[in-house]
Amino acid sequence: MLQQTYTNIEIIISDDCSKDGTKTILEQYKHDLRFHIIYQTENLGAIQNFEFATRKATGQYLAFCDQDDIWLPEKIEKLFKAIGDHWLVYSDSILIDEGGQSLQKNLSQLRKMYSGADSRGFVFSNVVWGHTMLVNRELLLFVLPIPAGVPHDIWFALKATLYTGIMYVDEPLTLYRQHAKTVTTTIAQKAVTRPHEKRFSDFKEKLFWIDLIKDAERGNRKLFYERLYELFALKAKGKFVWPLFFFLLKNKNVLFQFTNKSGISRVIEIRKLSRGEHK
């Protein structure tokens, strides 16, 4: 971050009652005028602390560094040049392991990156990671507070898509560190059978997410989301929902536009998504 070629930056750090050596490290930068360091007296939790730091920023554009990923020197400069009238721009990223060694994969090899204003790809997938994005502060009026249980990156991306569309820079500008947990969510793993309780919990989370998109939609796709929500909610009856199956099949190209799934894989996924769920 300190090696950015775009130098007119402020760095907001909100220490959420850390108990490791973070404060000792931060004290080394307290006289650097680029830094604004806040030490919380009570633990806010990850989401509220993120929102707190975001609200403290005074610049017109914001970039987020809430993980131990690495910014390449031209990240801010290139995103700033590309954002234009959009409220969000993002880039590709190189995956590295915990020790910083390349995994020989880019995010663009795992997803079909997207520029545009169609929100439907965000229903079942995502292409925008927090460490890759630059946002116009105008977006903050529409994304804060962040809904409970929703990752900030997909929420920011969805809302920006609905208001101005989003822009993708086809170049790796960050190194995305993969720990054991992030590897399983970033790189597709072999499917495992989930307990009924977990499947029902996942169903409720997805239904909540579809409802959020439905309420946020501003254009002519309102009816699309209303129908998707209506059909998806029928899964709670515990039976296979054929109308949902045919709806997803009809719209598979837009709903799975971020994924690299083959036609057969999409049909298999649609079949799974159409199964009934029960506690």
Check which CATH number belongs to the domain holding 69 and give it. 3.90.550.10
Is residue 196 very low, low, confident or very high in pLDDT (cuts 50, 70, 90)?
Answer: confident
Final residue before a domain boundary, out of 122, 155, 186: 186
The number of domains in the chain is: 2
pTM: 0.92
Counting other chains too, the contacts that 104-109 makes at CB distance below 8 Å and 24 or more residues apart are: 105/187, 106/172, 107/132, 107/176, 107/186, 108/170
Final residue before a domain boundary, out of 165, 186, 207: 186
Mean pLDDT (whole number) for 223-239: 97
Q: Are residues 89 and 152 in the same domain?
A: yes
Across 37-41, 192-196, 224-228, least confident range? 192-196
Residue 68 or 119, more confident: 119
Final residue before a domain boundary, out of 130, 155, 186: 186
Q: Are residues 155 and 206 in the same domain?
A: no
Q: Are residues 214 and 247 in the same domain?
A: yes
pLDDT of amino acid 184: 42
* Torsions phi, psi for 62 (to 5 deg): -130, 140
Q: Are residues 260 and 240 in the same domain?
A: yes
Contact by Cβ (8 Å): 78, 173 = yes
Q: Are residues 79 and 155 in the same domain?
A: yes
* Torsions phi, psi for 53 (to 5 deg): -65, -40
Q: To the nearest whole percent, how much of the chain has pLDDT over 90?
A: 86
In a domain, residue 9? The reply is no
pLDDT of amino acid 182: 60
DSSP H or E stretch at residue 39 = strand 35-39
Is residue 158 very low, low, confident or very high in pLDDT (cuts 50, 70, 90)?
Answer: very high
* Domain, as residue range, for 204: 196-273
In a domain, residue 213? The reply is yes
Q: Are residues 158 and 97 in the same domain?
A: yes
In a domain, residue 19? The reply is no
In a domain, residue 12? The reply is no
Q: Are residues 168 and 89 in the same domain?
A: yes
In a domain, residue 246? The reply is yes
